[in-house]
Amino acid sequence: MDCFPGRQYSVEYEIQNDSLTQRPSFRFREPVEMFAFNEPRNNQSLPDWTYSSDRGEFLMVAQGGISDGVPIAEQILADQTVLVVIENWFDELETLAPRDSR
């Protein structure tokens, strides 16, 4: 069986006692793919998913791809907020709105 990045598997198992040593051992079944997603590949977001047993849901950090035919990078650039930095802001403010000299 091949395991691929981004694919998440479930593996059933049972605990058995070894017939010779009587020590517990695991018996694993064949892995079953649950879902696949584009997971981010960096060390800041690991682990990139968890299971919430109260909600019965997987919560994950996912990497985008293409949405509605538009590459995600273009969507991000289109939605970005432009940040304008004004150096010497108080001087600029004084020029635009001088103090009242009363």
Q: What is the pTM of this model?
A: 0.42
CA–centroid distance for 39 within its chain: 6
Give the pLDDT band (50/70/90) at residue 28.
very high
Measure Cα distances from 44 to 5, 33, 36, 98 in Å.
17, 25, 20, 48
Rounded to the nearest 5 degrees, what angle is found at the Cα of 50, between the Cα atoms of 44 and 56?
155
pLDDT band at residue 29 using 50, 70 and 90 as cut-offs: very high
The amino acid at 14 = E
- The answer to whether 38 and 55 are in contact (CB under 8 A) is no
Q: What is the mean pLDDT of residues 52-68?
A: 71
Minimal CA–CA distance to 30: which of 2, 7, 11, 55?
11
